[in-house]
Copies of this chain bind each other. A is one copy, B any other.
Amino acid sequence: MLGRLNHVAIAVPDIAAATATYRDTLGAEVSQAVPQPDHGVTTVFINLPNTKIELLEPYGENSPIARFLERNPDGGIHHICYEVDDIIAARDKLIADGARVLGSGEPKIGAHGKPVLFLHPKDFCGTLVELEQA
């Protein structure tokens, strides 16, 4: 079921500073910052040869990463995203196995324009897991 690691998401308090760290100090290729009002975050992608790092800064009120940054003011790894071929089949298998899907259980369109679901960290080694249809 599990496909590629699509991205590792790092929540940061200051996306301009974080982008500069990855671009200038670590010498990585970085994208422009893109505000995503529907998702409550601004995103920057760090393009690595085999996958991406997604930097996330809160956008607007009620950002889904605001509480995470209160607990982790320097930032930190917020979630990992795995690709699956069929997100509905993946969801149904996970639920049958007793895993908890967050929210309504229906896929939403994520920041990349593809259907995504989030899985409960307590069922996956303390890590917030996003599944994205490849």
Instruction: Enumerate chain A interface residues (CB-CB to B < 8 A).
Output: 1-5, 8, 10, 12, 18, 21-22, 24-28, 46, 48-51, 53, 55, 72-77, 80, 82, 93-94, 97, 99, 121-127
Contact = CB atoms under 8 A, between A and B. Distances in A.
A97 B25 contact: yes
Contacts of A53: 5, 80
Nearest to A22: B2
A12 to B, nearest CB: 5
A48 B127 contact: no
A45 to B, nearest CB: 13
Contact of A127 (B28, B76, B127): B76
A47 B1 CA distance: 12
Contacts of A124: 21, 26
